[in-house]
Amino acid sequence: MKDDAIGSPMHPATTPGPSSIMYTSCPSGFTLTNSGWEKELVCDLRNTAKSAVLTHLELGKPLSAQDEQALQAACNIIVEQFPAFKNHLDFWGANAALREQLKNLKDTDARKKRKATTNHIA
């Protein structure tokens, strides 16, 4: 951890990425895009979440409707790669990444189906 001008360690809330401070709930309107975290971290987090979704969760089903054990397994993948998410109550940081990837994969699948239908008709 870097030191500030006084020489003491920087406060964890000022470091890029998920904080080591325990967050009790997801900040209102939180998205990975507006998280303020470094682009590389967000990119790695999205790739890990996408892999977790494809491995453990059902596409087209909201996060709240997923099987509890499957959801826990997906969260565990993220927490293993990004240990700071252990400090998020109910894994809200990991859940935000999983929710985003579920939506992105659902939207991508829908686009592919529309395109295939359009190409088939034409």
The answer as to whether 95 is a domain residue is yes
Q: Which domain holds residue 60?
A: 32-115
The answer as to whether 4 is a domain residue is no
The answer as to whether 16 is a domain residue is no
pTM of full prediction above 0.85: no
Query: In this predicted model, what pLDDT tens digit does every residue of 33-71 receive, in sequence order?
Result: 888 888 999 999 999 999 999 999 999 899 999 999 999
In three-state form (DSSP H/G/I as H, E/B as E, the rest C), the secondary structure along 10-21 is CCHHHCCCCCCC
The answer as to whether 73 is a domain residue is yes
Residue 7: predicted pLDDT? 35
Query: In this predicted model, what pLDDT tens digit does every residue of 100-112 receive, in sequence order?
Result: 999 999 999 989 8
Domain count, the chain: 1
**φ and ψ of 52, to 5 deg:** -65, -40
